[in-house]
A and B are shown apart, each in its own frame.
Chain A
Amino acid sequence: MDINTKIFRDNFLQYYRPLCLFALHYLKDIDDAEDTVQDCFMELWKRREKGFEVSGLKSYLYSMVRNRCIDILKKDSLIDGNVQPSDLEEILSDEECEEWSYDEARIWTAIEALPEKCKEVFLLAKRDGMKYEEIAVRLHISVNTVKNQMSKALKTLKEGVSRVYLFFFG
């Protein structure tokens, strides 16, 4: 199978972002997560080139990424051999983590698709925990504009996340 075929591209576009978020639950580092998922796709491509056929690609990829994350974490940690994925609050089961990664990829895609100004306000408020007044000062806009941008962002996200999503997370 050639790496430039449509099938490979489609698989990549469909699974890359959810897999990265899945890996992020283990590794807690965005660059490490991306590297890990890319390595897995490269490995998969090599195996396929050698004539190795994979049935159930999605679960195969998730298993590959999970095993690789565990290997990385075990190499780094000599003490605690018990590797489990988690979100910001608690440990998740592998099934939950896999399921969540799809929703999280959708949220990521929805945030990415926000209008530039709207996204900036939303991230400063929600990610960086800044107050509306502080955002207004920083971006040289009125507090009312900040409020408007925030409600626009939340509305767009809610619609975007609850809608049936785009097939690809590109």
Chain B
Amino acid sequence: MKDKEERKLQFVLRYYENGKLDTRKALKKITGIAYQNKVSGFWAYLSGIAAAILICVVSYTLLSRKEHHTVLITADAMVTRYFLSDSTLAILSQGATLEYDTDKYGKANREVNMSGKIYFSVRKNALSPFIATTEYAQVKVLGTEFEVTECRKDTATRVYVKSGKVVFKGRYGKNGIVLTKDMCGMLTHGDEMPVAVHAVSPNPSAWATGKFIYRNTPIDEVLKELSLYYGTLLYASEHERTITGEFKTDNLGEIIALIEKTLDIRIIQKEQ
């Protein structure tokens, strides 16, 4: 058997037990439970009628209002992770908002409105593109990981693509630009078309992914990114070195110690 097939077999064997994953037994179990629920549910339904009538009377005026099925998520105090119904993950930075229609999302479309900075990891679905709309811009994707930033104080909307491919355009524009892995795009508010720009740092989405990843990155570039991220000033005793590795974002001291030890250099930290 091929390697993958062998791995699948090993996985099955690791958990195989006689009598487990018995489909017919499981079906019998849940149809039994469902039947019980149905019977008790019926009585609960009858006994609840009085309460329901009461609620109906009290909320009569409310019933004439139009029903809303929009969900609005706001990251008030800290970075917030949120899974949409199609398993798309949205990581909202502080102050960001995400809004979508629960009746339509994942069924008729996959459209969300947003503001602030949000990192998306979109579940692939070739039949239903994911569309994120901000006040000025729109990003359309099939399945990828990317970040959109549009803050009130900014005069431009920025998009960074971590993997996959997106189409980035002005909100009401017809044409946009295609951005692929590690590319950044910027739409200056008032312009029709966005432009591709260089990423400010190697890991623009470290705040969301919790990781700094470097591949032969010059030490000065690494320290510049870390300085910006942690709001401090970092200098290396040598400049002609490069780093390859992954670091978690939760402890700057640990990152510095690791770099110092691996490259045998000194890193000087100055508070800003």
Chain A residues proximal to chain B, CB less than 8 Å? 3-4, 9, 12-13, 16-17, 20-21, 24-25, 30, 34, 37-38, 41-42, 45, 55, 59, 63, 66-67, 70, 81-82, 87-89, 94-95, 100, 103-104, 107-108, 111, 123, 126-127, 158, 161, 168-170
Residue in chain A with minimal CB distance to B19: A112
Closest residue to A128 on the B side, CB-wise? B13
Q: How far, in whole Å, are A9 and B31 apart by their CA atoms in the complex?
A: 9
Compute how far the CA of A34 lies from the CA of B17 in the bound complex, rounded to whole angstroms.
13
Option from B10, B23, B87, B210 in Cβ contact (under 8 Å) with A67? B87
Partner of B87, one of A25, A63, A170: A63
Q: A42-B34, A95-B124 are in contact. Are A63 and B86 (CB under 8 A)?
A: yes
Q: Inside 8 A of B27's CB, which chain A residues have their CB?
A: 9, 12-13, 16
Which residues on B sit within 8 Å (CB–CB) of A126?
Answer: 9, 13
Question: Is B60 engaged at the interface, CB distance under 8 Å to the other chain?
Answer: no
What are 8 A-B pairs with beta-carbon distances under 8 A?
A16-B27, A21-B12, A24-B15, A34-B26, A45-B30, A87-B11, A88-B7, A108-B16
Q: Is the CB of B23 within 8 A of A12?
A: yes
Q: Are B23 and A107 in contact (CB under 8 A)?
A: no
Q: Is the CB of A42 within 8 A of B30?
A: yes
Q: Collect the chain B residues with CB atoms within 8 Å of residue A158's CB.
A: 1
**Is the CB of B107 closer than 8 A to any CB of chain A?**
yes
Contacts of B23 on A, CB cut-off 8 Å?
12-13, 16-17, 168-170
Q: Measured between C-beta atoms, what is the minimum distance from A118 to chain B in Å?
A: 13
Q: Are A123 and B16 in contact, CB atoms less than 8 angstroms apart?
A: yes
Q: Which of B87-124 contact A (CB under 8 A)?
A: 87, 107, 123-124
Closest residue of B by beta carbon distance from A13: B23
Asked if B174 is an interface residue, CB under 8 A from chain A, the answer is no
Interface presence of B181 (CB below 8 A):
no
- With A12-B23, A16-B23, A17-B23 given, is the CB distance from A3 to B8 under 8 Å? no
| The 5 residue pairs across chains A and B that have the minimum distance between CB atoms | A127-B13, A3-B34, A170-B23, A63-B87, A107-B12
Q: Is the pair A108, B21 in contact by a Cβ cutoff of 8 Å?
A: yes
Known: A21-B21, A30-B20. 14 other contacts (CB 8 A): A3-B31, A4-B31, A12-B30, A21-B12, A24-B15, A42-B33, A63-B87, A66-B87, A88-B10, A94-B123, A103-B5, A111-B12, A123-B13, A126-B13
Residues of B within 8 A of A34 (CB): 20-21, 26
List the B side residues contacting A66 at CB < 8 Å: 87
A38 to B86, CA, bound (A): 20
* Nearest CB on A from B75, distance (A): 15
Residues on A with beta carbons closer than 8 Å to the beta carbon of B15: 24, 30
B7, A59: Cβ atoms closer than 8 Å: no
For A100, the chain B residues whose CB sits under 8 A away are 8, 11
Q: Is there an interface contact between B85 and A30, defined as CB atoms closer than 8 Å? A: no
Distance A94 CA – B145 CA, assembled complex (angstroms)? 14
